Structure 1
Amino acid sequence: MKQKNQRAIIHLLTARSWPARISAIVILSIAAVTWWHERAVSPGQLAKGSNIEGQVVAVADGDTITLLDANQQQYKLRLAYIDAPEKAMPFGQAAKTHLSDLVFKQNVSAKIDDVDRYGRGVARISKNQQDINLAQVNAGFAWHYTTYAKKAQPPAEFADYANAQHAAKSARLGLWQDRQAMPPWDWRKAKRSE
């Protein structure tokens, strides 16, 4: 391919006809796009819309995991459309433990919906066709993060998550045992202003 690109450059610079120049430009454009794509989505990097599979090798908190794929590449993933209590918050450790019980040392699939500013994949995690993100909400160990979910989450899925949160809250499961449970986004905001 490198030799073909070199010939295209020479042809572009020496061609006397416009069709020959255009042909050289097309070849160079294709090479540039291919090169850019290979650099942008190389192993170990995440891209919106990609799918990865592997074993969960770490659980950082109630909504963040590390996945190791078959090529031994690690990916830090944030569970999409939910927000679990921070570790220092009430129920933070319980949320982490519940997520660990669901996925630690288990094989999962991850659909990357976005890549956040920290380079983490924002992903929908499933294990044996079980929606792990939804499982955290069902058990009362995460909020449905509607601020982000209403922008990108499919409507039927949005309704499932909203219903799960309502049911967990009504049954006073997990963090909903605390009637004054503070959402993690408010807790983080309060910590930043201290």
Structure 2
Amino acid sequence: MGRTDHFTLDTQLHRVRRLPQLSRLFPHVPLVICLTMLLVSCGGEGDVQNVSAACGGFPGITGRASKISDGDTFRLSQSNGRFVTVRLDQIDAPEKTQPWAKKSRQKLAELLGTGEVCVVGGKHDKYGRLVGEVRANGVQVNREMVQSGSAWAYRQYLRDPSLVQLEAQARSEKRGLWSMPPAQNIPPWEFRHPELASKAETAQHHGLLGLPVHGHLAPECSAKPSCRQMNSCDEAKGWLAKCGGQGIDGDGDGKPCEKLCSPAS
């Protein structure tokens, strides 16, 4: 769609200035109702925000899922007849040609169901997709996709570290895609851009492990470090929260580098 999901301040002020006109047209309608009618739409044209049960009490864009593309993208059919492509925020599901892609898509379809779906905090990206937290049937769909082993926590756009913990739990219990051999569990961002994984391995080889850069894949998260590369328990814990437990949490219990982090060390 390419339009942002927020009206500009000028647009809102223009609507407020129309209140006297509305009051003359509808003299029996209380002023507060007129104001609500004007400001209820907080999204762009066609993206009307509502506060409904599906949104968990938060304002969001509602509709029904009409087409599931893969495990992190679907089309939302709104009550006004418009459609918008929705991308689940902070997660990344297998690409269509990757192992587990079909089951990931099926899991998303199961979670969305046929009832009302809500996108909370959605913003349009450069592709015109509405990116946000999706809720359906009382479930936070983004989190459930990771917790069920149907998607990865998307490190490049991660703001909620708890998604990494959910991923670690799914891995330790071999849920979903984590039941496959490790060689088949290639993160989608590496699958799409294999050169990033190659650069990360080179960085690890030379010991050039830096901090993640906003808007780019943190190369060290693909480097799969070992506990021997950790200088302290705090560093290991920070790595686990940011990148997951591959290489530093062999038993998948959510505790990295147990010798380094043991009380006696």
* TM-score (norm. length: structure 2): 0.51
Partner of 1:10: none
Whichever residue aligns with residue 78 of structure 1, its letter is R
- Go from structure 1 to structure 2 and tell me whether the alpha carbon gap of 1:31 and 1:55 turns closer, same or farther (over 3 Å shift): closer
SS of the counterpart of 2:111?
Answer: helix
Residue aligning to 2:100: 91
Does the Cα contact within 8 Å between 2:60 and 2:118 map onto a contact in 1? Answer: yes
**In structure 2, what is the Cα distance between the partners aligned to 1:75 and 1:183?**
26
Query: Per residue, is there more strand in 1 or in 2?
Result: 1
Aligned residues: CA RMSD: 2.8
Of the three residues 72, 82, 99, the one matched with 2:81 is 72
Q: Given the alignment, which residue of 157, 167, 170 partners 1:148?
A: 157
Higher relative contact order (CA 8 A, sep 6+): 1
Q: How many residue pairs align between the two structures?
A: 152
Q: C-alpha displacement at 1:97, in angstroms?
A: 0.7
1:86-141 deviations in Å (ceiling 9; x for gaps):
11100111100111111142311111443211100111001133100111001101
The percent identity for this pair of structures is: 28
Output the CA distance in 2 between the equivalents of 1:83 and 1:125.
14
- Give CA deviations for 1:54-93 in whole Å, capped at 9, x if unaligned: 1111110000011111111111000000000011100111
Distance in 2 (alpha carbons) for counterparts of 1:32 and 1:139: 42
Name the SS for the 1:72 alignment partner.
coil
CA–CA distance in structure 1, aligned partners of residues 11 and 147 of structure 2: 48
Q: Which amino acid counterpart does residue 98 of structure 1 have in structure 2?
A: K
Structure 1 residue 123 corresponds to structure 2 residue 132: yes
Long gaps (5+) in structure 1: 1-28
Q: Which structure 2 segments of 5+ residues have no match?
A: 1-8, 16-40, 50-58, 196-265
The superposition leaves residues 149-181 of structure 1 with CA deviations (integer Å, 9 ceiling, x where unpaired) of 1xxx3xxxx243122101100011111123131
Q: Larger helix proportion, structure 1 or 2?
A: 1
CA distance in 2, matches of 1:31, 1:112: 20
Cα distance in structure 2, aligned partners of 1:30 and 1:103: 36
**Partner SS, residue 141 of structure 1:** coil
Question: What does residue 179 of structure 1 align with?
Answer: 182
Q: 8 Å contact 1:143–1:165 — kept in the other structure?
A: yes
Counterpart code for 1:190: P
The structure 2 residue matched to 1:167, chosen from 154, 166, 169, is: 169
Alignment deviations for residues 9-45 of structure 1 (CA, whole Å, 9 cap, x no partner)? xxxxxxxxxxxxxxxxxxxx9579749xx9x921159
What letter corresponds to residue 42 of structure 1 in structure 2?
A: E
Q: Distance in 1 between matches of 2:75 and 2:84?
A: 5
Decide which of 61, 64, 78 is 2:70's aligned counterpart: 61
Distance 1:68 1:104 in 2: 13
Q: Distance in 2 between matches of 1:100 and 1:119?
A: 22
Q: State yes or no: 1:188 paired with 2:192.
A: yes
Amino acid at match of 1:169: R
